[in-house]
């Protein structure tokens, strides 16, 4: 089921100004979220063909909240003939890696997280209240992203102090998994219990006190631009030295993507219930 979904999502050519491709990806995601009993709205359609998905689901056996960020648009392909795969918009397995435009940025991690949440729901496992913001213009260089005003309102109304960014990385030399743990206003030393929680879910992991690099800077990122100074920012994911985002031969290791789904599922249910965070708002 996961592979079928991922294949169809990669097949949706959701590049800038591709109305059909973006609409296909948008519909797939909103349908999947709706089927998981998220309350879903699509916002910004009056201003762009690549609007924002705002999805909310109440927690189960937990009163904690978490914000998850992702995007469904992908970078354009300029040199299709230089790809190892036959077609950048058809998922292809080569030597243990999935190839396809958007597999690493961000359709692979996004799909893994969707299925992680589905697994928790199906198992009736504890899950925090979730606000899922999925941008449609992350790859579009716009001075004032449509998502900015949508995110500003949604984040303020949700009142959450913990956010998980779109993905994360493994070290390009050692392949060691990296977890980003950062806050605009809180010192890293005050986040000790978050380190313990993340370590318990990911295993051997190296922490870096920073956020993911943003191509156009924080001001162009509707997530980082709108979180409060006391927000706890978390990032982890399957990307590695061969992911080639924005380049030819974008790919992800199949085992790392599967591992991310398992880790994300464990992280969410642990976050929902862990006594480590009892003193955190």
Confidence (pLDDT) at 279: 63
Sheet containing strand 178-182, strands side by side: 39-43, 52-57, 129-135, 65-71, 162-164, 232-235, 178-182, 206-208
What is the domain-level CATH number for residue 66? 3.40.630.10
User: Using CA atoms, how far apart are residues 207 and 144, in angstroms rounded to an integer?
Assistant: 32
Helix axes 19-35, 2-11, angle to 10 degrees: 150
Tens-digit pLDDT profile for residues 149-203 = 999 999 999 999 999 999 999 999 999 999 999 999 999 999 999 999 999 999 9
Tally of structural domains, the chain = 1
**For residue 272, is the peptide bond before it cis, meaning its omega torsion is within 30 degrees of 0?**
no
CA torsion sign for 246, 248, 252, 253 is negative
Q: What is the pLDDT of residues 226-239, one digit of tens each?
A: 999 999 999 999 99
Percent of the residues in the chain that have a pLDDT greater than 70, as a whole number? 98
CB 24 within 8 A of CB 15: no
Coil, strand or helix at 266: helix
Q: What is the mean pLDDT of residues 120-127?
A: 99
Residue range(s) defining the domain that contains residue 239: 2-277
Q: What token pair was written down for 49?
A: 């063909």
């Amino acid at each position: 089921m996961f592979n079928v979904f991922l294949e169809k999502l990669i097949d949706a050519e959701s590049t800038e100004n591709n109305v059909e491709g973006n609409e296909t990806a948008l519909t797939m995601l909103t349908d999947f979220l709706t089927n998981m009993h998220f309350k879903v709205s699509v916002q910004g359609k009056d201003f762009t063909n690549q609007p924002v998905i705002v999805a909310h689901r109440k927690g189960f056996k937990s009163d904690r909240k978490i914000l998850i960020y992702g995007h469904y648009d992908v970078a354009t392909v300029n040199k299709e003939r230089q790809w190892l795969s036959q077609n950048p918009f058809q998922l292809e397995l080569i030597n243990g890696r999935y190839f396809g435009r958007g597999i690493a940025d961000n359709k692979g991690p996004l799909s893994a997280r969707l299925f992680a949440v589905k697994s928790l729901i199906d198992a009736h496992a504890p899950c925090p209240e979730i606000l899922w913001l999925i941008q449609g213009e992350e790859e579009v260089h716009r001075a004032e992203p449509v998502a900015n005003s949508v995110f500003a309102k949604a984040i303020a109304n949700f009142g959450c102090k913990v956010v998980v960014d779109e993905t994360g990385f493994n070290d390009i030399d050692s392949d060691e998994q990296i977890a980003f743990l950062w806050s605009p206003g809180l010192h890293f030393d005050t986040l000790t219990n978050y380190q313990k929680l993340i370590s318990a879910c990911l295993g051997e992991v190296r922490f870096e006190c920073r956020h993911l690099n943003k191509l156009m800077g924080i001001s162009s990122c509707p997530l980082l631009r709108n979180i409060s100074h006391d927000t706890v920012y978390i990032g982890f994911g399957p990307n590695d030295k061969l992911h080639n985002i924005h380049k030819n031969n974008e790919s992800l290791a199949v085992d790392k993507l599967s591992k991310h789904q398992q880790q994300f599922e464990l992280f969410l249910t642990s976050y929902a219930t862990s006594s480590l965070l009892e003193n955190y708002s």
